[in-house]
């Protein structure tokens, strides 16, 4: 009996803060990210197809991990690439840079973005793969904004620079039974106490595109060049329209990413209609399934804010109204993403 990923967490010499840093120390996480080809090839294409932008430039890679993006930037012609990461994985990245004969162009610095001393005052381009589940989980975007405000030249570029968050509803009865209703009868025992917790935690998993039974709605756009940290705490409206007579078991959120600085913008989606990514989608089960008819409207607001005790966690609230054949039903749901 083990947690799936207890790696490094249990070193008694480490504080919990170290643990955060070191949750990225294990190569398995980087293996998963590198093998996510939607992710890695989008970054590679965006960088390698922008040689005109990278040539002789100074580039900062925020959260460089294994150094893959830094090395792409060097290949694209950057004069100097500075990679920063606070995880011990950077020790491996340093050797990788040497082993690939890129140490004249790529400099890796271990530490927090707020604290490291860069060898330059300003950079031309920031590259970063900061996205978490539900886009914002883990708040690594905050670190990119710190780097941007401190180091990016006024006309500098950020790869990627656009993110949009989408919401839709899904029919998901079978999986709901397996994940939520399972707790009603566990070998004959009622484990409602756990079901209640399970209902407040968004589920990160892949959803079949066929499960979507509403239109989808962009509820948040983020321009990384201009967004402020406080904009990442928000309450925004959404409205989706049912596309068939069906049941709604959950709301579904995903995000799209764009590198708009490229000659021809490069985009990828983490939505159910795209190819698999390791971000999957985020499922918010509703306690009571909704019986919906085609053209029914579900409208409401979605609130996301960093948890006060632990800012890497997210408190997400979804309030909605469904105006259906059986009258109007409303719900106000609180989720915690930890």
User: Would you please indicate which residues are annotated as catalytic (active-site) residues?
Assistant: 129, 138
Task: Please say which residue, 96 or 118, places its beta carbon nearer to its own copies.
Answer: 96
d(CA 284, CA 170): 10
Of 252, 247, 240, the closest CA to residue 297 belongs to 240
Residues whose CB falls within 8 Å of the CB of residue 50, separated by 6 or more in sequence, listed in order:
76, 159, 259, 261, 262, 263
**What minimum distance in Å lies between the beta carbon of 245 and its own copies?**
32
Binding residue for its own copies (CB under 8 A) from 3, 119, 154, 327? 3
Neighbours of 152 (CB within 10 A): 19
Name the DSSP class of 230: G
Task: Please say which residue, 259 or 320, places its beta carbon nearer to its own copies.
Answer: 259
CB-count exposure of residue 304 (10 Å: 0-12, 13-18, 19+):
buried
d(CA 281, CA 55): 36
| 142: three-class secondary structure by DSSP | helix
Binding residue for its own copies (CB under 8 A) from 38, 45, 116, 132? 132
Q: Is 280 in the site for its own copies (CB under 8 A)?
A: no
Residues whose CB falls within 8 Å of the CB of residue 330, separated by 6 or more in sequence, listed in order:
319, 320, 321, 322
Task: Please say which residue, 143 or 213, places its beta carbon nearer to its own copies.
Answer: 143
Q: Rule CB under 8 A: which of 179-198 touch its own copies?
A: 179, 182, 186-187, 189-194, 197-198
Per CB under 8 A, the segment of 136-144, 153-161, 208-216, 255-263 that binds its own copies is 136-144
Contact 170, 252 (CB under 8 A): yes
Binding mask 82-101 for its own copies (x = CB under 8 A): ----------xx-xx--xx-
Contact 250, 202 (CB under 8 A): no
Q: Is 140 in the site for its own copies (CB under 8 A)?
A: yes
Distance of CA 273 to the CA centre of its chain: 17
Task: Please say which residue, 313 or 321, places its beta carbon nearer to its own copies.
Answer: 313
Interface with its own copies (CB under 8 A), residue total: 71
| 310: three-class secondary structure by DSSP | coil
Of 204, 241, 237, the closest CA to residue 317 belongs to 237
Q: Is 308 in the site for its own copies (CB under 8 A)?
A: no
Q: Rule CB under 8 A: which of 195-234 touch its own copies?
A: 197-198
Q: Rule CB under 8 A: which of 54-73 touch its own copies?
A: 63, 65-66, 68, 71-72
Q: Rule CB under 8 A: which of 12-41 touch its own copies?
A: 12-20, 23-24, 26-27, 29-35, 40
Q: Is 76 in the site for its own copies (CB under 8 A)?
A: no
**What minimum distance in Å lies between the beta carbon of 277 and its own copies?**
11
Give the total residue count for the chain. Answer: 338
**What minimum distance in Å lies between the beta carbon of 27 and its own copies?**
5
Distance of CA 86 to the CA centre of its chain: 19
Q: Is 104 in the site for its own copies (CB under 8 A)?
A: no
**What minimum distance in Å lies between the beta carbon of 201 and its own copies?**
8
Task: Please say which residue, 28 or 327, places its beta carbon nearer to its own copies.
Answer: 28
Q: Is 313 in the site for its own copies (CB under 8 A)?
A: yes
Neighbours of 6 (CB within 10 A): 8
Q: Is 106 in the site for its own copies (CB under 8 A)?
A: no
Q: Is 121 in the site for its own copies (CB under 8 A)?
A: no
Per CB under 8 A, the segment of 54-62, 110-118, 210-218, 305-313 that binds its own copies is 305-313
Task: Please say which residue, 192 or 226, places its beta carbon nearer to its own copies.
Answer: 192
Contact 336, 315 (CB under 8 A): yes
Task: Please say which residue, 141 or 290, places its beta carbon nearer to its own copies.
Answer: 141
Return the bridge partners of 154, or none. Answer: none
């Amino acid at each position: 009996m083990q947690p799936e990923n207890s790696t490094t967490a249990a070193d008694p010499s480490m504080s919990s803060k170290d643990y955060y840093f070191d949750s990225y120390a294990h190569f398995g996480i980087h293996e998963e990210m590198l093998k996510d080809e939607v992710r890695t090839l989008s970054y590679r294409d965006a960088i390698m197809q922008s040689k005109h932008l990278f040539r002789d430039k100074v580039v900062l890679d925020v959260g460089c991990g294994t150094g893959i993006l830094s090395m792409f930037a060097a290949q694209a012609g950057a004069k100097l690439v500075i990679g920063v990461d606070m995880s011990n994985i950077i020790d491996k990245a340093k050797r990788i840079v040497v082993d690939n004969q890129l140490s004249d162009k790529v400099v890796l610095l271990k530490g927090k973005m707020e604290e490291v001393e860069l060898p330059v005052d300003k950079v031309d381009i920031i590259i970063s793969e900061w996205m978490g589940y539900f886009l914002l989980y883990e708040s690594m975007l905050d670190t990119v904004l710190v780097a941007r405000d401190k180091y990016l030249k006024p006309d500098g570029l950020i790869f990627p620079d656009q993110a949009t968050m989408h919401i839709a509803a899904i029919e998901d009865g079978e999986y709901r039974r397996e994940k939520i209703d399972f707790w009603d009868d566990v070998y004959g025992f009622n484990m409602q106490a756990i079901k209640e917790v399970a209902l407040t935690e968004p589920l990160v998993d892949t959803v079949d595109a066929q499960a979507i039974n509403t239109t989808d709605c962009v509820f948040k756009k983020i321009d990384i060049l201009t967004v402020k940290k406080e904009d990442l705490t928000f309450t925004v409206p959404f409205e989706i329209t049912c596309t068939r007579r069906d049941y709604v078991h959950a709301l579904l959120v995903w995000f799209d990413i764009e590198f708009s600085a490229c000659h021809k913008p490069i985009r990828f989606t983490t939505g159910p209609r795209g190819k698999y990514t390791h971000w999957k989608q985020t499922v918010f089960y509703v306690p009571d399934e909704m019986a919906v008819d085609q053209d029914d409207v579900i409208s409401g607001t979605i609130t996301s804010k960093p948890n006060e005790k632990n800012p890497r966690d997210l408190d997400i609230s979804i309030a909605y109204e469904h105006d259906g054949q059986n009258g109007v039903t409303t719900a106000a749901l609180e989720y915690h993403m930890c």
